[in-house]
Amino acid sequence: MNNSSIIYSSDQGLLLGFHGCDQSIRDQIILGQIRMKASHNGYDWLGSGMYFWQNNYARAIDFAKNPPGKSKIENPAVLGAALSLGNCLDLTDKLHIDKIRESYHFLKDTFSKTNTPLPKNRPAPGSHNPKDKVLRELDYSVIEALHKETMEMGEIPFDTVRCVFIEGNPIYEDSGFYDQTHIQVCVRNPNCIKGFFLPRLEDPEWYKAA
């Protein structure tokens, strides 16, 4: 991959990301006392990295208050971040959708040669919605295989991964809109995080002081 092939696929502007976590973790990251850790779970939706809901504070606080599985966050809070996507594996872009498809077929062929079954995306244990496959071991493997191939070929590595996820239930009968649809950003290169901030509440009476 050369620079001319990514000039339209890389977004050098800033966007806001929100991450649901415990208040103590949020405060320590903002104060520079600890660094934000990347997630390396084999079922992460967009591969390894630091996860943010793009421009979606409400989803981040909902995640903190209702974490998946049996986990619990004592003091739910939201960490804000200013992000640059850099060289982004953007799965709203046909160029990168095609790359993911190619990576899947490469991975499938590799596993087939050793008679090894491919990982699968699957629902969480006890889920009442078999279509809601939140444990995405196949997607994780496909994305990580693409990152590995990119590095081995000496191409420009991806700084971030972004995707729109249609999730949840229709918001009304026969609706094309779903109640948990969101955009997720996975940051692989920590230099794409330009700064952290404490999200503020809206001032409903701002106009009275104007």
Domain membership flag for residue 82? yes
The verdict on pTM exceeding 0.85 is: yes
CA distance linking residue 46 with residue 9, whole number of Å: 17
Domain membership flag for residue 205? no
Domain membership flag for residue 195? yes
Domain membership flag for residue 124? yes
Sign of the dihedral defined by the CA atoms of residues 60, 65, 68, 73, in that order: positive
CA distance linking residue 149 with residue 156, whole number of Å: 11
Nearest of 61, 81, 66 to residue 20 by alpha carbon: 61
Domain membership flag for residue 184? yes
Residue by residue, pLDDT tens for the chain (210 residues) are 344 455 666 566 899 999 999 999 999 999 999 999 999 999 999 999 999 999 999 999 999 999 887 689 999 999 999 999 999 999 999 999 999 999 999 999 999 999 999 999 998 887 777 778 889 999 999 999 999 999 999 999 999 999 999 988 899 999 999 998 999 999 999 999 999 999 988 888 877 776
Domain membership flag for residue 10? no
Query: What is the count of structural domains for the chain?
Result: 1
What range defines the domain where residue 84 resides?
15-200
Domain membership flag for residue 178? yes
